[in-house]
Amino acid sequence: MKQPCALKCSITIMFFFLIIQPLVNGQLDYKFYDATCPNLTKIVKFGLWSAMTNDTRIAASLLRLHFHDCISNGCEGSVFLDATDSFQSEKDANANRNSLRGFELIESIKENVEKACPGTVSCTDILTLAVREAVVLSGGPYFSLPMGRRDGLTANITLANTDIPSPFEPLDDIITKFTTKGLNLKDVVVLSGAHTIGFAQCFTFKPRLFNFNGSGGPDPQLDASLASSLQTQCPNQDSSNTNLVPLDNVTTKKFDNVYYKNLVNNSGILGSDQALMTDNRTSGMVLNYSKFPFLFAKDFGASMVKLTTVGVLTGQNGQIRNKCNLVN
């Protein structure tokens, strides 16, 4: 008698997945540290919780640190490296110098992880988990993350200067910076939603306040009462350039969908944020997220998982750094 298909086929399917799985997502695996560092999540969570009781702003800072690492040269921890004889530090890139934060926190969590499971967990994976915990502790969605990223052996300030989007850039250029990394238009809109928490330095939107495009007045795409409040917080002189203004003026510390509501009523702070509402390729998504918080929560998790897999090093590539700022 012939074997029924059920068994044979399921075996075939099983082997199919065994072979295909690593090709789909590198060596990343949801159970990667289950045996080798079972307390990892607990350690990272505690590190974030302690940091945020002192400084809630650290949540937004970590999202930014992670994004700047991943979007230039992939998620491989190059952003942590100090300069050496053979490369400059990405910490000195235009988008990072005097603004990137969170290095000490990740380094201190890494020390605790090293005590529990020496030489096992990359700085890149610690940052990835820390970002998830930062989102959750700010009231945002939980999303599970495959692990197994390894740390890179070099940094590249040129790539950091060219690949990290700037708030002054046209939306088309920003979209290109995402699509060349395998991210899409929806990811641009969804990941921009991280600006629901955190602060911006005045210089990042000052051109919108006083003499927008040579008009002698503020950007017409900026709500008039918000514009006058921003003019007070960011007076038209260089000394105000580093003053901090909340990106979401309404629920500054809460990870929610109010960022999109703000864009709908012309209250986006950065020109690059407000552009998502003026461009008809993205405005429909902005409207959707402004109305449906659960849709945003679900899509944000999915786009973050995508972002965390950009350009990762797995298997035998890279290394597990002992300290995040130095190659071993």
Ligand X SMILES: *[C@@H]1O[C@H](CO)[C@@H](O)[C@H](O)[C@H]1NC(C)=O
Q: Which residues bind ligand X (CB under 6 A)?
A: 38-39, 54-55, 87, 116, 154, 156, 158-159, 213, 223, 225-226, 229, 245-246, 249-250, 258, 261-262, 265, 267, 280, 284-285, 288
Q: Maximum CA pair distance of the chain?
A: 88
What does the block give as tokens for 84? Answer: 């050496």
User: Residue 233 in contact with residue 243, Cβ under 8 Å?
Assistant: yes
Nearer to ligand X, 12 or 50 (CB): 50
What does the block give as tokens for 186? Answer: 């929806």
**Residue recorded with tokens 């690059």:** 272
What does the block give as tokens for 149? Answer: 């990223």
Q: Which residue, judged by CB position, is nearest to ligand X in the bound state?
A: 284
Catalytically active residues, by annotation: 68
Reported as half-sphere exposure (CB side, CA atoms, 13 A), residue 289 has a value of: 31
User: 257, 274, 262, 165: which is closest to 218 by C-alpha?
Assistant: 274
Strand blocks (E) in the chain? 199-201, 244-246
Nearer to ligand X, 165 or 218 (CB): 218
Minimum gap (Å) between residue 18 Cβ and ligand X: 28
Minimum gap (Å) between residue 238 Cβ and ligand X: 21
Nearer to ligand X, 1 or 294 (CB): 294
Is residue 71 classed exposed, middle or buried when 0-12, 13-18 and 19+ CB atoms within 10 A define those classes?
buried
> DSSP states of 253-273 as a string?
TS-SSHHHHHHHTT--SSHHH
Minimum gap (Å) between residue 252 Cβ and ligand X: 8
Minimum gap (Å) between residue 227 Cβ and ligand X: 9
Minimum gap (Å) between residue 20 Cβ and ligand X: 30
User: Residue 114 in contact with residue 137, Cβ under 8 Å?
Assistant: no
What does the block give as tokens for 208? Answer: 């919108």
Nearer to ligand X, 249 or 322 (CB): 249
As a residue count, the chain comes to: 328
Nearer to ligand X, 102 or 165 (CB): 102
Nearer to ligand X, 39 or 314 (CB): 39
Minimum gap (Å) between residue 164 Cβ and ligand X: 14
> DSSP states of 92-114 as a string?
GSTTTTTT---HHHHHHHHHHHH
